[in-house]
């Protein structure tokens, strides 16, 4: 396990031993060896609304650029093009622990470097990822698109957030189940 006392991206002190920086969303505690990777990759049905995670899911080099400072961190991002190809025909909602002040540059970079159209996006305003994503699910996604969990597929790196989605009945998986 790797644990940072100070965020390597924005230098915010991590006094409360958070897994993610409350200022910029940077992963501060990395637990290794827990994820099970499927040998046979799953298809992504085209009728699903994709609830997409940004860091460690859409971004393929999150671990490598984790210490980069903003805005360079955004410009150094590389994307999971195999995942993009599998979801680009779906309605995609980006829900991320990254802070709102990075949204314009982040969305522009995604648009310029992938074939993915982000239909909606929701950003961090100071909550931990599972609480933040639950907030946006309850306040924006479900009221707009309906509460039938079979409409959605969450592709999410954070195990705690996947568990939160599952409590709503939403299938939630790591990108490694698909690519």
Q: Which of 4-13, 109-118, 145-154 has the lowest mean pLDDT?
A: 4-13
Q: Does 94 reside within a domain? A: yes
Q: What CATH number has the domain bearing residue 103?
A: 3.40.50.1000
Q: Tens digits of per-residue pLDDT, 103-141?
A: 999 999 999 999 999 999 999 998 999 999 999 999 999
**Percentage of the chain with pLDDT > 90?**
75
pLDDT-derived band at 20 (thresholds 50, 70, 90) equals confident
CA pair distance 125, 127, nearest whole angstrom: 6
The residue segments making up the domain with residue 147 are 41-177
* 16 located within any domain: no
- Token pair recorded at residue 25: 């969303």
In a domain? residue 19: no
Taking 60 as the threshold, does the pLDDT of residue 169 lie above it? yes
In a domain, 162, yes or no: yes
Average pLDDT value for the chain: 91
Residue 97 lies in a domain: yes
Asked whether residue 12 is assigned to any structural domain, the reply reads no
- Please report, for residues 93, 145, 166, the alpha-carbon distance to residue 107 in angstroms, rounded to integers and kept in the order given: 12, 22, 27
Q: From CA 64, how far away is CA 156, in angstroms rounded?
A: 19
Is 8 domain-assigned? no
Question: Using alpha carbons only, what angle is made at residue 12 by residues 8 and 16, rounded to the nearest 5 degrees?
Answer: 105
Residue 23 has a pLDDT of 75
- The Cα–Cα gap between 115 and 78 comes to 13
Two tokens, residue 35:
């994820």
User: What confidence tens digit (pLDDT) does each residue in 70-88 have?
Assistant: 999 999 999 999 999 999 9
3-state secondary structure of 106: helix
**Number of domain units in the chain:** 1
Question: Is the separation of the CB atoms in 135 and 127 below 8 Å?
Answer: yes
In the prediction, which pLDDT does 3 show? 75
Strands of the chain, DSSP E: 2-3, 29-30, 49-52, 91-99, 118-124, 152-155, 171-173
pLDDT level of residue 34 (50, 70, 90 thresholds)? low
Phi, psi for residue 36 in degrees, rounded to 5: -95, 125
Confidence category of residue 32, pLDDT binned at 50, 70, 90: low
| pTM, entire model | 0.82
Domain presence at residue 4: no
Higher pLDDT, 179 or 28: 179
Of how many residues is the chain composed?
179
């Amino acid at each position: 396990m790797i644990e940072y006392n100070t965020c390597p991206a924005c230098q915010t002190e991590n006094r409360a031993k958070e897994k993610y920086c409350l200022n910029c969303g940077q992963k501060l505690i990395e637990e290794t060896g827990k994820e099970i990777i499927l040998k046979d990759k799953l298809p992504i049905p085209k009728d699903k609304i994709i609830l997409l995670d940004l860091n460690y899911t859409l971004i393929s080099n999150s671990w490598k650029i984790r210490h980069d400072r903003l805005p360079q961190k955004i410009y150094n991002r590389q994307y999971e093009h195999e995942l993009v190809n599998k979801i680009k025909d779906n309605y995609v909602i980006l829900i991320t622990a990254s802070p709102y002040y990075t949204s314009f540059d982040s969305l522009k970079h995604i648009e310029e470097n992938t074939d993915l159209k982000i239909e909606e996006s929701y950003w961090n305003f100071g909550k931990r990822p599972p609480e933040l994503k639950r907030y946006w699910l309850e306040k924006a996604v479900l009221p707009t698109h309906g509460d039938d969990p079979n409409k959605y597929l969450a592709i999410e790196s954070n195990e705690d957030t996947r568990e939160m989605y599952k409590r709503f009945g939403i299938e939630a998986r790591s990108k490694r189940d698909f690519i």
